Every structure is written in structure tokens, then in C-alpha cells.
Amino acid sequence: MTLPADDRLIVALDVPSAYEGLVLANQLGDSVSFYKIGLGMLTGGGLALASELKQDQGKRIFLDMKLFDIGATVENAVRGLAQFDLDFLTVHGDPYVVKAAKEGAAGTDLKILAVTILTSLDREDLNGALIKDGAISDLVAERAGRAFEAGADGVIASPQEAAMIRALPEAEGRLIVTPGVRPTGADLGDQKRIATPAAAVGAGADHIVVGRPIHRAPDPRAAAEAILKELQG
């Protein structure tokens, strides 16, 4: 039995070109309704792919740019990207960046998601980047709270921090989107703070992002449907 699409699952089109992204989307067909297009595909036709999936196939689109610059530049960039009728856009979680992005998205349905701490990073990585001392979970909570106060529609966070963020008073009515999701038995790749799809949603995530476990599978559609079954089971 074919499971209906569930937009809690966002499939990351982390492939080299728009053509390969379109091939994958066609393989997945009506089993997937929401796609993430990241920075790696931007020069490979990512915006054109976003437009085609949105306008021609009715898919939802999450553009994962993680914008970070002076406020005026961020505002102008977001205003330009909002013309593509996107659903989600990521920026770094610094409050001034979030505020600028919200200004750029004003008058549109584009949701601004703030990045807390990348799920590929651990405390040793943060030390190397001169990030202040403290447990990652505490830093994520602090950044999430400040991003919400600055107007973020949601945050990007590890599944391991989803419940903690959901419990924040500022998180009421806001989105939590979790990368670092791996089906049981899947290769971890470069992710260090992970959870299974069901665990991430159970912890408070509104959407999970899954890439390699789907696009590297021998049968991508079957891999996506296995995740849908776990989510809906």
C-alpha cells in the first residue's frame, strides 16, 4: 500500500545538480511533498529547481542558505529570495540577522528559520571556533530563545535538543525543524547529534530533514516510504 505524502518529512536534495535533483524528485513522486535545496546546489541550478518543483509540481520548498551578513545585506537577499514563493528559508540565529530576514520576508508567507548550532558540530568543534564554554544543549536553548525573541518563525536544531526547545515559553506556535535524522541502522555520515524519525517527532519536531538515507538508497521511494511508515505508525 502506498502511503500518502506527509509534509513532516522534508527530503534534502543534496545532489550535484538540478537535473539530478529533478530525477530524484520524479523517482519519489507523490510520496514526498516537501524538499530542501541547500547551498551546495545553488550554483547547480538550485533556484530553477525550486521554482519547477513549486510551480509545476506543487511541492513545498525549504531553501537552506544559512544566510549571514550585515543586516541590510540579509534583508535585501531575503527580499529577493521571497519572490520565488518559497516556504522556509534558513539564516544564522544571531538576533540582528533574524530581524533583518523578517524585514525582507515581510508581506510574504516565507517562514524564517534560525540555525542554532549545526548538527555536525560537537563541543570540540565549538572550542576551535572560539564559541563560549558550556554544554551544547544549553547554548542551543539560549540561541533558540533569542532567535524567537527576534521574530524567527522557527529554528533548526538537533533532534536531541527538540524537546528542550519545545519547552521554552518563546517556542509556543513556532516551528522546530530537525536535520541529523537517521532511520534505524543508517550510516551516520558527518552527523554527530542524531535521532530516528519517530524519536525526533516525539521530542517536538514539526519537520524532519532526511537526505542521504533516501537519495543513496537503491530504491529512494521505498526508503522514503519506510520513513513515512515510521512517522505514521
Question: Residues with catalytic annotation?
Answer: 66
Q: Is 122 annotated as a binding residue?
A: no
Q: Is the dihedral of CA 27, 222, 191, 230 positive or negative?
A: positive
* d(C-alpha 141, C-alpha 149), whole Å: 12
Segments in 114-184 forming alpha helices (H): 123-128, 136-149, 159-166
Q: Is 64 annotated as a binding residue?
A: yes
Q: Is 36 annotated as a binding residue?
A: yes
* d(C-alpha 113, C-alpha 80), whole Å: 17
CB atoms inside a 10 Å sphere around CB 6: 17
Q: Is 66 annotated as a binding residue?
A: yes
Q: Exposed, middle or buried, 49 (CB in 10 Å: 0-12/13-18/19+)?
A: buried
Q: Is 185 annotated as a binding residue?
A: no
Q: Is 211 annotated as a binding residue?
A: yes
- The Cα diameter of the chain in Å comes to 51
CB 112 within 8 A of CB 92: no
C-alpha cell at 168: 521554552
Q: Is 73 annotated as a binding residue?
A: yes
Q: Is 143 annotated as a binding residue?
A: no
Q: Is 68 annotated as a binding residue?
A: yes
Q: Is 59 annotated as a binding residue?
A: no
Q: Is 2 annotated as a binding residue?
A: no
CB 202 within 8 A of CB 231: no
Enumerate the known binding-site residues: 14, 36, 64-73, 119, 182, 191, 211-212
Enumerate the known binding-site residues for substrate: 14, 36, 64-73, 119, 182, 191, 211-212
